[in-house]
């Protein structure tokens, strides 16, 4: 078979700065040397590098671009410059569209991922070229790691990465690659700041700010002969600004975002259309080139996926764009001639922005990535060289989700079901809902999943009806493809019954099957309307519904998309429902599942219990019931653990015993127990078991005497020696036994001085000398000593001199060492 004709590189690369690197790239390709090409947007790397490589390797070159619109545009442009028909030497593959090319095939990373999982050997492929790797999309990161692994096993496969930023060394280290850099000729840029009203409000970008952007753009278009490129964060903002501009500007206005069909995207990118205004999302930052632009109007905003780890959901969040993104947007104005950049935000907002976007791996849901890694044979990414390893918490949640739908085993390996779900071009939860939903309501499930896979907004049933009313479109092709995939999956799983309990097979009202299939995909997002107007999701999150969500007549809805806003407080949770479908309560409860629990509560007034029925975090009913004794005891123990022993009163006897135990624990150690507040609270179920049962039966806690329960803490058999080790009292020569106080740093005995006559050796407890507080006959302090011998030999005489006149009825002998000890007066002695 003869080799197809070489690409005409002179024609393709004419005027492109990256053409200066052609020889170096060709040399790397001939030797299959891994390569990182660094060049700014607009230098032609996407257009020229793939054909250069293709001319120097025997097989096909697969090129990934991060978005479908970029894939189609790149393929069409290369075929046009090569003078060939699209589908001959150049082709492309995106979800729902496949035009094969014999030499270069442009694809999205997701398409290549499925191709790798189907056949990792990539037969007939000599090079994999990954464009825009600096955007750090999760799919691109995974493809990069997998391709690097294959290249280690195949010496006839070249891997090339292309980046618009200079942070190329990390990619080069991963691939063991050489780096080729090509700067772009720069033209002067005039940067103007024209901030308007507040950019972000409760539901995202404020309408007044978008109107300000439209007016600013209209003025800019009137002052230039070139085209104007406007950057806003999402589809809704594109449509809004474009609509205003059509009434404000004489220049043709073209929207540009991933939701448009190919024809509409081609109109925006067509270089023959002359001066125009293109209102675009971030897809025009680096992966697409709009010809003739000399003015950029930038909102300074980006819509990015964010995972809320605390609440367990992911959604698109509008936030300030990174500086690198703002700089790339600005560079679009100076690609062909001196240009103007109008930033609709303040210099301070630019200075305060982060330098680079957060890699998607760290900010988004990883369920699909986790399944792909499991199917690759590297669960959780372990053993696969990735530019960054997935964060543990997000991966834990993803694996839990996959386990719940039967896609992985307990040790993280892909099951047969998981491998089949991975072949369906949708998130695993949507793939599972597609299969289960098809078993219940046929092709209708594919319609719902087609919408859920395509950044849904508003009411799902309304969206489906609108798309079905159009002529044959990408939506219909996607439905056909998903329906076929579901049939294939069901045939491969002969024992599959699916979750079909919520509905019966046959004709089902749209208001039911939209909610049913959506709920199948996201049972934790099924929500109930609360009294305060917010929606409580089964996963526990409260959210508000934005204006595009019609009010549910059932009080329940299955949520398909959640966003986050910066506004919280005043009843706002920061979570916004962007897309949803009505669902009836019966179906909702079947999909979520219900649990019945008894909640026991300890209050100052006693112990109460309620039987609570819940669907996830949604409370359905709460009925007072009689507390079960065991539950009451457990609730008391938990209350004590949480709030301490404050419900009890330690009388003098219990306090003294606790102090003795504490002394033993501190000065002897094991086996004597810790009796601190924390320790006692956490072991209450053990030493207070009987008393907790008494309280559960109605005895007030204040009536419980704690000395006996505390004795249960005495360790056996050491308890037999406790009275000797830490005595409760001390025998003094008078024959009495005053208590020993263990509340301080030393043991203390308070006793009348006369009761210690004849006592010379000071006693000790666990090696610590007892401190005597010697009292007058009236019980007033006279002296403090832990050495009676020294006291009687010296200071006693001064005390005797002062006290014998004050207390003449009591003995004050000159020789306390030989005097008779007493607590009585001389007469009663």
**Span 694-708, pLDDT tens digits:** 888 888 888 889 999
CA 724 to chain centre: 59
Among 3.30.1300.10, 3.40.50.300, 3.90.10.10, 3.40.50.2300, what is the CATH number of 9-181? 3.40.50.300
| Residues 685-692, mean pLDDT to the nearest whole number | 90
- pLDDT tens digits along 649-659: 999 999 999 99
Q: Tally Cβ neighbours within 10 Å of residue 753.
A: 23
Percent composition of the chain: helix, strand, coil (DSSP 3-state, to 5): 40, 20, 40
DSSP for 318-363, please give it.
EEEPPHHHHHHHHHGGGSSS-EEEEESS-HHHHHTS-SSPPPGGGT
Secondary structure of residue 732 in the 3-state scheme: coil
Catalogue the long-range contacts made by 258-267 (C-beta closer than 8 Å, 24 or more residues apart): 258/67, 258/68, 258/69, 258/283, 258/455, 259/235, 259/454, 259/455, 260/69, 261/473, 261/474, 262/72, 262/97, 262/474, 265/69, 265/72, 265/73, 266/72, 266/73, 266/76
More confident residue, 536 or 290: 536
More confident residue, 291 or 671: 671
Among 99-108, 497-506, 661-670, 678-687, which stretch is predicted with the lowest mean pLDDT? 497-506
Contact 31, 100 (CB under 8 A): no
Catalogue the long-range contacts made by 590-598 (C-beta closer than 8 Å, 24 or more residues apart): 590/501, 590/502, 591/499, 591/502, 591/516, 591/519, 591/520, 591/523, 591/526, 591/558, 592/519, 592/523, 592/524, 592/526, 592/538, 592/616, 592/618, 593/523, 594/620, 598/625, 598/627, 598/628, 598/631
- Residue 502 — very low, low, confident or very high, per pLDDT cuts 50/70/90? very low
| Residues 767-773, mean pLDDT to the nearest whole number | 94
CATH superfamily of 189-361: P-loop containing nucleotide triphosphate hydrolases (3.40.50.300)
Among 37-46, 378-387, 465-474, 716-725, which stretch is predicted with the lowest mean pLDDT? 465-474
- Residue 358 — very low, low, confident or very high, per pLDDT cuts 50/70/90? confident
- pLDDT tens digits along 264-282: 777 888 878 889 999 998 8
Scan for tokens 């939701």, then name that residue.
Answer: 259
State the angle between helix axes of 460-468 and 474-492 in degrees (0 to 180), rounded to the nearest 10: 110
Q: Where are the domains of the chain?
A: 9-181, 189-361, 424-587, 594-710, 727-829
- Residue 505 — very low, low, confident or very high, per pLDDT cuts 50/70/90? very low
- pLDDT tens digits along 520-535: 999 999 999 999 889 9
Secondary structure of residue 182 in the 3-state scheme: coil
Among 243, 252, 328, 216, smallest CA distance to 283 is for 328
Burial group, residue 507, by CB count within 10 angstroms (0-12, 13-18, 19+): exposed
- pLDDT tens digits along 384-443: 999 999 999 999 999 999 999 999 999 999 999 999 999 998 999 999 999 999 988 889
- pLDDT tens digits along 116-167: 999 999 999 999 999 989 888 999 999 999 999 999 999 999 999 998 876 7
- Residue 507 — very low, low, confident or very high, per pLDDT cuts 50/70/90? very low
Q: Is residue 717 reached through a cis peptide bond, with omega within 30 degrees of 0 on the bond before it?
A: yes
pLDDT value of residue 312? 60
Scan for tokens 């539901």, then name that residue.
Answer: 203
Residue 54 has pLDDT above 90, yes or no: yes
pLDDT value of residue 569? 43
Query: Do 9-181 and 189-361 fold alike per CATH?
Result: yes
Exposure letters 463-472 (e unless 16+ CB within 10 A, then b): bbeebeeeee
Residue 498 has pLDDT above 60, yes or no: no
More confident residue, 184 or 530: 530
Among 298, 297, 351, 354, smallest CA distance to 324 is for 354
Among 287-296, 410-419, 457-466, 496-505, which stretch is predicted with the lowest mean pLDDT? 496-505
Integer Cα distance of 214 and 447 in angstroms: 35
Share of the chain above pLDDT 90, in %: 62
pLDDT value of residue 314? 66
Task: State the sign of the Cα–Cα–Cα–Cα dihedral 779, 782, 788, 792.
Answer: negative
């Amino acid at each position: 078979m003869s080799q197809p004709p070489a690409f005409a590189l002179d024609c393709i690369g004419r005027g492109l700065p990256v053409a200066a690197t052609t020889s170096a790239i060709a040399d790397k390709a001939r030797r299959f040397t891994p390569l990182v090409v660094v060049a700014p947007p607009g230098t032609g790397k996407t257009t020229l590098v793939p054909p250069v490589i293709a001319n120097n390797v025997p097989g096909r070159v697969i090129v990934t671009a991060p978005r479908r619109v970029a894939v189609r545009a790149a393929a069409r442009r290369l075929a046009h410059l090569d003078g060939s028909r699209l589908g001959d030497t150049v082709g492309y593959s995106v979800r729902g569209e496949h035009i094969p090319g014999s030499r270069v095939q442009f694809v999205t990373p997701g398409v290549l991922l499925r191709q790798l999982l189907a056949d990792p050997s990539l037969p007939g492929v000599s090079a994999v070229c990954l464009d825009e790797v600096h955007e750090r999309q999760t799919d691109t990161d995974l493809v990069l790691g997998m391709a690097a692994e294959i290249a280690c096993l195949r010496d006839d496969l070249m891997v090339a990465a292309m980046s618009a930023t200079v942070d190329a060394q990390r990619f080069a280290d991963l691939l063991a690659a050489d780096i080729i850099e090509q700067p772009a000729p720069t033209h002067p840029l005039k940067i103007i700041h024209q901030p308007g009203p507040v950019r972000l409000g409760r539901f995202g970008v404020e309408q007044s700010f978008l109107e300000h952007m439209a007016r600013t753009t209209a003025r800019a278009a009137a002052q230039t002969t070139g085209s104007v490129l406007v950057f806003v964060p999402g589809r809704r903002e594109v449509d809004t600004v474009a609509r205003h501009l059509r009434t404000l500007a004489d220049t043709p206005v073209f929207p540009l975002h991933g939701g448009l069909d190919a024809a509409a995207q081609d109109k925006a990118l067509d270089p023959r259309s002359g001066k125009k205004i293109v209102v675009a999302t971030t897809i025009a930052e680096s992966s697409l080139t709009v010809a003739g632009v000399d003015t950029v109007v930038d909102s300074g905003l980006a819509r990015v996926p964010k995972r809320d780890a605390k609440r367990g959901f992911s959604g698109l969040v509008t936030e300030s764009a990174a500086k690198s993104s703002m700089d790339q947007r600005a560079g679009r104005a100076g690609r062909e001639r001196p240009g103007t950049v109008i930033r609709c935000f303040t210099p301070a907002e630019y200075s305060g922005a982060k330098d680079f976007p957060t890699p998607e791996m760290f900010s988004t849901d990883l369920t699909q990535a986790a399944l792909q890694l499991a199917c690759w044979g590297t669960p959780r990414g372990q053993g696969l060289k990735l530019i960054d390893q997935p964060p543990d918490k997000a991966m834990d949640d993803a694996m839990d989700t996959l386990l719940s739908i039967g896609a992985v085993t307990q040790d993280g390996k892909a099951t047969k079901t998981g491998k089949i779900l991975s072949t369906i071009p949708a998130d695993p939860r949507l793939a599972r809902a597609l299969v289960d939903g098809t078993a219940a309501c046929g092709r209708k499930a594919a319609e719902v999943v087609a919408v859920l896979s395509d950044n849904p907004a508003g009411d799902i049933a309304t969206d489906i009806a609108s798309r079905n009313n159009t002529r044959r479109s990408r939506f219909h092709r996607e439905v056909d493809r998903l329906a076929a995939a579901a049939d294939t999956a069901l045939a491969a799983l002969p024992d599959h019954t699916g979750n079909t309990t919520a509905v019966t097979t046959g004709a089902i009202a749209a208001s039911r099957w939209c909610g049913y299939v959506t709920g199948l995909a996201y049972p934790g997002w099924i929500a109930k309307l609360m009294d305060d107007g917010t929606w409580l999701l089964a996963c526990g999150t409260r959210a508000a519904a934005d204006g595009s969500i019609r009010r549910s007549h059932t009080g329940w809805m299955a949520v398909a998309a959640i966003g986050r806003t910066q506004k919280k407080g005043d009843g706002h949770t920061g979570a916004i429902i962007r897309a949803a479908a009505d669902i009836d309560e019966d179906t909702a409860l079947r999909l979520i599942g219900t649990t019945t629990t008894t909640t026991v509560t300890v209050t100052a007034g006693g112990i109460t219990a309620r039987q609570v029925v819940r669907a996830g975090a949604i409370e359905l009913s709460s009925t007072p019931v009689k507390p079960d004794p065991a539950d009451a005891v457990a609730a008391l123990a938990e209350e004590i653990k949480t709030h301490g022993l404050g419900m009890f009163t330690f009388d003098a006897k219990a306090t003294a015993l606790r102090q003795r135990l504490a002394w033993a624990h501190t000065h002897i150690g094991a086996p004597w127990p810790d009796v601190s507040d924390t320790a006692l609270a956490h072991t209450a179920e053990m030493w207070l078991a009987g008393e907790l049962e008494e309280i559960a039966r109605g005895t007030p806690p204040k009536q419980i005497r704690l000395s006996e329960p505390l004795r249960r803490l005495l360790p056996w058999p050491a308890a037999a020696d406790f009275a000797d080790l830490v005595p409760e009292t001390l025998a003094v020569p008078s024959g009495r036994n005053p208590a020993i106080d263990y509340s301080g740093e030393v043991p203390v005995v308070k006793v009348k001085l006369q009761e210690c006559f004849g006592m010379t050796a000071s006693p000790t407890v666990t090696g610590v000398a007892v401190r005597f507080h010697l009292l007058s006959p009236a019980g007033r302090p006279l002296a403090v000593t832990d050495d009676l011998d020294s006291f009687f030999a010296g200071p006693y005489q001064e005390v005797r001199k002062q006290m014998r006149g004050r207390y003449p009825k009591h003995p004050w002998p000159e020789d306390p060492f030989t005097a008779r000890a007493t607590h009585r007066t001389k007469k009663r002695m």
